[in-house]
């Protein structure tokens, strides 16, 4: 880090330690990450539910073929 004085480095470091020790910041980050993960999961579930009907005829064909050969 060329051009940064020691005083500015200490102020940045102090700011980080203040945030790192704050339980309010930790809780806020935790809840943000939970909400982001929930959003991604919901989008994935919707995409999966939209994908299943498109594949259903193929799986029904496989199920019918496997049912034909079960008596052997």
| DSSP line for 4-66 | --HHHHHHHHHHHHHHHT-HHHHHHHHHHHHHHHHHHHHHHHHHHHHHHHHHHHHHHHHHHHH
Residue of 24 and 67 predicted with greater confidence: 24
Residue 2 — pLDDT band, cuts 50, 70, 90? low
Residue 18 — pLDDT band, cuts 50, 70, 90? confident
Distance CA(29)–CA(23), nearest Å, equals 10
Q: Give me the pLDDT at residue 44, please.
A: 95
Residue 52 — pLDDT band, cuts 50, 70, 90? confident
**What percentage of the chain carries pLDDT values higher than 70?**
62
For Cα atoms 59, 63, 69, give the angle at the middle one, nearest 5 degrees: 145
């Amino acid at each position: 880090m060329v051009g940064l004085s020691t005083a500015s480095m200490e102020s940045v470091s102090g700011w980080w330690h203040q945030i790192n020790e704050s339980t309010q910041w930790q809780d806020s980050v935790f809840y943000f990450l939970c909400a982001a993960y929930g959003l991604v999961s919901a989008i994935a579930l919707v995409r999966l539910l939209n994908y299943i009907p498109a594949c259903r005829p193929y799986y029904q064909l496989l199920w019918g073929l496997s049912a034909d050969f079960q008596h052997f």
